């Protein structure tokens, strides 16, 4: 049985992609172990949906967040991973920050180990309004280490194409951030729990409530929009939560709902009429993204309203599953919302059924397992 060590430089508390990948690998007969960072509120060793998780307890954890100290923390994590997991058969490096660790093991401690590099973003430009210096540093790091990866995986076709241009490598395999297929029985939870009238159309934003996601623009839209039969529900958590909460107190068409566990998420999602994803074009990772929330909306059988970004636009327009806002502005989104309301509902239902039969984890799993099969 091949031993797979999946590295993440986070606490592994909300990483659905890594969890799904490891469940799939485990079902296929691999011995998997997710290696993450320890936090005092979490267990050092546990199983998450039967996937073993080992969190490394750093002695430097409580040291300052100064950049030099952060490097020391990283080196301690690297040392401990090398010591405990150098005899793995495959190291699955999630994101750029874990790639050097896998490559160091391959070059100096275990020549036989295979490295899978899983770029969850356009890694070198993944932060809104990132400095040119930061992008260049990340570029040279990734350029150096990626050539030692036996396989590269990423999350959108545009990012895969960019990696080919940047590094002259074989095109990375495409494993999208899709949910597992689920037959949906439509719910009405938001109307029942938030007191929303049946005549109102519910637009849902679910996911991280942070900068770069168009949340401030959406708040302006629903503060401005004159149609009192259109409401928005924000469901998630993050730095902008208090901003939304304040707006919800003042405007009757703005609602905030706490995040819900993954196993019941789609029940809530299906309670909306439209899903909305207004990612801003503020870094290349966002420009080329295909957010998992889009696929969650479609799995819950609700049409989408999205910003005019390359991959999202292509998916929506080629499949007839919603509206692309021509401009990611208050005015542009008001127009898009009005257009969405007037779409042919029956045709949307047909189109969405076709799309969810293609864009689901069961199909993405086949790609992942094919990548691993080629490593032998």
Residue 355's Cβ-count burial label (10 Å; 0-12, 13-18, 19+) is buried
Beta bridge partners of 277: 306
Number of domains in the chain: 2
Structural contact between residues 158 and 312, judged by C-beta atoms closer than 8 angstroms: no
- pLDDT at position 44 is 96
Q: Are residues 352 and 366 in the same domain?
A: no
Domain that holds residue 343: 189-358
Residue 164 has pLDDT above 90, yes or no: yes
Structure tokens at 260: 């819900």
Q: What is the pLDDT of residue 370?
A: 98
In angstroms and rounded to an integer, the radius of gyration of the C-alpha atoms of the chain is: 22
Q: What pLDDT score was predicted for residue 65?
A: 82
Residue-wise pLDDT tens digits, 181-204 = 999 999 999 999 999 999 999 999
For 317-344, what is each residue's pLDDT tens digit? 999 999 999 999 999 999 999 999 999 9
The closest of 73, 156, 82, 88 to 122, measured between CA atoms, is 156
Query: Is 151 inside any structural domain?
Result: yes
Chain CA centroid to CA 218, Å: 20
Q: Tell me how far apart the alpha carbons of residues 255 and 241 are, in angstroms, rounded to a whole number.
A: 11
Residue 183 resides in a domain? no
pLDDT band at 376 (very low <50, low <70, confident <90, very high): confident
292 and 354: one domain?
A: yes
The predicted model scores a pTM of 0.93
Higher pLDDT, 66 or 138: 138
Quote the CA–CA distance of 20 and 23 in Å, as a whole number. Answer: 5
**H-type alpha helices, 60-188:** 67-85, 99-108, 132-146, 157-167
Residue 222: name the closest of 358, 336, 94 by CA: 336
Residue 174 included in any domain: yes
Evaluate whether residue 314 is within a structural domain: yes
Per-residue pLDDT of 101-133, as tens digits, reads 999 999 999 999 999 999 999 999 999 889 999
Residue 262: what pLDDT?
85
Q: Is the model's pLDDT at 67 over the cut of 90?
A: no
Please report, for the domain that includes residue 246, its CATH number: 3.40.50.2000
Residue pLDDT, tens place only, 243-272: 999 999 999 999 999 999 888 999 999 999
Shared domain for 152 and 34, answered yes or no, is yes
Residue 184 lies in a domain: no
161 shares its domain with 202: no
């Amino acid at each position: 049985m091949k031993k797979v060590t999946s590295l993440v430089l986070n606490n592994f508390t909300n990483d659905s992609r890594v969890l799904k990948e490891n469940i799939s690998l485990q079902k296929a007969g691999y011995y998997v172990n997710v290696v993450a960072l320890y936090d005092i509120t979490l267990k050092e060793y546990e199983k998450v949906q039967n996937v073993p998780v080992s969190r490394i307890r750093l002695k430097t954890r409580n040291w300052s967040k100064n950049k030099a100290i952060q490097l020391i923390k990283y080196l301690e994590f690297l040392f401990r991973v090398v010591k405990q997991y150098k005899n793995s058969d495959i190291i699955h490096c999630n994101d750029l920050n874990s790639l050097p660790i896998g490559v160091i093991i391959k070059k100096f401690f275990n020549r036989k180990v295979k490295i899978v590099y899983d770029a969850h973003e356009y890694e070198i430009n993944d932060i809104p309004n990132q400095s040119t210096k930061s992008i260049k540093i990340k570029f040279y790091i990734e350029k150096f280490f990626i050539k030692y990866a036996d396989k590269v995986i990423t999350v959108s076709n545009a990012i895969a194409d960019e990696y080919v241009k940047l590094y002259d490598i074989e095109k990375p395999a495409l494993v999208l951030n899709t949910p597992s297929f689920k037959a949906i029985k439509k719910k009405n939870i938001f109307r029942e729990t938030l007191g929303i009238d049946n005549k109102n159309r519910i637009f849902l934003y679910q996911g991280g409530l942070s900068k770069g996601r168009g949340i401030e623009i959406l708040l302006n839209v629903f503060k401005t929009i004159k149609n009192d039969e259109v409401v928005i529900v924000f469901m998630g958590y993050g730095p902008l939560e208090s901003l939304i909460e304040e707006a919800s107190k003042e405007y009757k068409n703005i609602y905030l709902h706490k995040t819900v566990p993954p196993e019941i998420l789609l029940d809530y999602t299906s309670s909306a009429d439209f899903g909305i994803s207004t990612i801003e074009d503020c870094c290349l990772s966002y420009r080329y993204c295909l957010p998992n929330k889009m696929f969650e909306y479609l799995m819950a059988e609700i049409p989408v309203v999205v910003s005019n970004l390359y991959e999202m636009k292509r998916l929506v327009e080629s499949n007839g599953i919603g509206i692309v806002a021509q401009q990611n502005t208050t005015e542009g989104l008001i127009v898009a919302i009005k257009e969405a309301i007037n779409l042919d509902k029956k045709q949307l239902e047909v189109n969405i059924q076709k799309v969810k039969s293609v864009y689901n984890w069961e199909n993405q799993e086949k790609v992942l397992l094919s990548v691993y099969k080629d490593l032998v």
